[in-house]
Structure 1
């Protein structure tokens, strides 16, 4: 607080002048007469001390001046008696200070006159009288600080001059310190007074606000007030509170509070739904706020939010409790419903991802505390998407509900199952000290979920894959355990499904490698890291090259040469295969059109992801038009997996390509989902026999030989050609000829080679032909 705010030259921010400084000036009139008498006594003492030393006329004149100054100050004191209720501003306050200063001037002039007219010997004694008045003013709470300081300065200046005139240096020092101490004391007292007044004003404002709120509370009948005596019996029961208690105010008056709200089923000493805490607060006589308790009102369960504070009488004796309360049953039910929806899946009624994460976190804490293990099983349904796509989401939802029921029947004590989302479920095992329990539960989940489901008169089959992680061994946080269980699940899915896989550290390393490869693969085309190699396909009889299969290779600046077995599946998972496939189509067509003989075809592998693109046929047209390649020289190779996604879209795209004049080959026939229906729906030009059958036939496997003969016979009857893959030596080539395959592909006739080597192959072939003609 500044000096100006303390003595009244300014008002503290946010405060009213009349409430702060006006209060100080209203006190002046209460000691007006006492101040006048003190000055009269001071005059008498001075006259007595200087009798015979100073002329009586001078003393008398000084006395008359002092009387006028005291009367003037008394007038101003009286005028300020209503300063806290009427306007009493800075001007009035300064006028009062001038009147106080006038008294000081009279005392100061008297001291100077006495020092010059024979009273110098008694000057120190005479000075003690106004000094007492100064100190009394400084210490009194019935004085205005600005007026006290004005009186002190005016009197002190007179005393200083008188001491100088008398040559009394000791008195000069005393006067100086008297002035300083008096002014300092006045300011400090004023600060205390103003601070106290500010606090009092704030308390009064709060009291007014509380009174206003209570009046508004009662007038609007918002919620209700309650009050009990030291024996916890109700007092002053309002109609509103009586209504909440389910009885009349007369019936509730004097009754035990707990008897009316606890009912027969609840015991406040043991009940955990707020009543126990409520009873403890009352017992310890502690204030409480917004305590939610469950009450029983005439057999009906309700929820109250209650606040209360102990009451004390003037002697500080406890006389009971008083507070406010409200019925929050509807809000409680609504919040319970919201809490349920936030943590439970509405379709299956199982815990959702949020609650599973919280439960897993608690299990990890339990395991860390008791040095045990917990486990997390992540479950994914196999073939669920085909059910959803073919029969609709309604059937899919019913299937998920049945899956949830089966999972609940498999979990025991300390285990909780839930739905992560989509067709993913999970199980948290709180205590997984028995490692065999994890595998048994996983196998039971796979077995149960693989059983047939009957929905709307249909029998449906799905499988399940399970990945598990054990905490804290496989992860000390929820995020780590979830990630590692997910990695184990991917491994189970990659193994063909209906499998359970545990997490292994190598899975994380593989995932990290895959992540880094994906990051690099996304920039491979921009960096020009992709290149094409071509493997020859020869006529089985003449061994002349009839086509080349374009095979994409990746020479990464960060990882070196990356195997197609690594980056092709990654490209398909991330759909990067689409831009890569488009680039392969354009480059291969350009190379074949510009550098190969007109009778040599180019075979290009197309991923199912590419065929599902709506503009695939446009991509083929663009590649052909930009390169100038004859469509008859382009053969598109697809695998049977194209018919597992959206067969109609894939078939339409291939038919559009065939309409352009391109041919279509069915690659890896017999290794996937072979069905003669594919051959009936789409007219392939070539069927490629997988290398596994060729290798098997080379080892005289009767099954492999039979399959190759059957494929060749079928192709001949349908007007198609056959190509045998993976031929590595002359013996295998001769065997393939004997089985009547039309074309051969394999290391025996050439490994995949760069485009420059292919061109040199044609140059050598042309040179040899020229020599033969010569």
Structure 2
């Protein structure tokens, strides 16, 4: 075989190897000149530098390359203490303790891979230094000899990597990992110092629709704007983090006032729900918030986060666009919701759903002019289930379309049997409206029932405008071609825009009851808002319906301001199909107003056993109704007016009150501090008994039990304490009693 293995090739290689080849000259230890040359080349290449100090710690040598890079001259460096050039790195990790440079130098210890920052004001430069102490032949310390290299770029890269691991790349906010670490550290520290910490979970409503319709880039831009808006509201009160695609977490130290937290939650919802411009398009989303507070609702991260998440789910079930505080009964509510979800799918097939009808009455003549169809569910075991409980579940699990189609067909069928051509309104969910074949479903319901199209009115909420505007307008056009009427429901409560009224062919505007409530009170702006809405509707040739009217002064105001129709308990509750039909057959078309003469702060009817504390005695009583300013209590006799009492509302909620009415066993009490909204339709106290107080009373620290007051006052309040008032046993309310 020829090539490298041939004899001629081997001979040539040997000749080349020996031709003019200089002898090998290894660098030996005694060859100082060549060793210095080697070190010079190392320094010149920038691979590292050398430094040396004398016995007093003064610099006697620093590589010229290092000095030039830093803009130093030999005169500036030589003679300075080594400690003057560097600021030792602060160690954030307690598991990796590191001796500072000054300590190492004083102890004459070896220095190994110590990160130090150079004392330069206008820029951040980091070196990694190493060094060994030197001693002469008499074991006397002569100084240090060491090396250094620039690690600024490496540190910046590591810092960027750490930031990427702890911060969301889209919004720049802390990510789930960092927020979890921060919350865990905070809760641990606050437990020792007896401080509180609130946690909010904010979830975006309809964000996925923006992603689907406008694209991922638009979704990311929207998230950035959400983060900016939320940061503007939260400010320095807390830290915001992004937990998932559409969920944010807000940690608020040293806040346990639920009034302040509720105000903050409401402001966040309002700010986040304002329109956005992304990728040249207009986008509208909403927000729901759950709130939990440590140590009241949980002591550690997992417990507190679970509590806030349960509150969030409750806010969504309540209709979204709300905040809710955690309470222990939410666990039961979650269980109830799961049961509703399981049973709801069979409700239609098992004929458990029924349509009821609430009259729409002329504000001037009080004659019935139409009605709204409202769905009711009678469960075979659990009785009546409120629409506010099952409608949100139906929307979430997707069966609202089936239920909506059933309701539409049922209403059309029943209305054809009425003895007069009364218009009937049917609610349409945004999910129903999003179906491409929705106009066909309406057309089929009209055809099969024989109902005249102009007798059917579809009530549509503003949420339908959050989708494709062009598609929405086409849908309106197809529905109007069928001859049906369109009404804009809950106007002014969600994402109102005058462009809806300008572009959509509505026949009616429904004024939400939140604008009716309190409109007759002095200084309330609702009356002016009512006038503006009615005037706007008149200018657009639309009717107006005022919802939720209960008091006669509200009716008078709405009549005076020109509302077309009135809907509410002032005239009638929703009637079953049979009762409504019977009234129509009997010709009872005029409704007489029945209700209180004047609006008063809403009192929620309840039947709940609570505790009442007076001095050293504790009484079992029944709360009949509750408002922000007071309550009606039954169960005590001979209680003088002006008596100071404390109502234990459960869950650590204590309300100081004064007896203002006392008749028989009934007491009317006025709260010293008004209650606040829990974000839904309930009321709660601003503050609660602190678990730290319970701990101080000798109990283990834990989240609030249902009756924490008894744990604190066990010694002060006892069964043998002499009671000043006579307790009366109160039974369950009787049907029709008004309670």
The TM-score bracket by the shorter chain reads: 0.3 to 0.5
Instruction: Say which one has the larger Rg.
Output: 1
* More helix as a share of residues: 1
* More strand as a share of residues: 2
Higher relative contact order (CA 8 A, sep 6+): 2
The TM-score normalised by the length of structure 1 is: 0.45
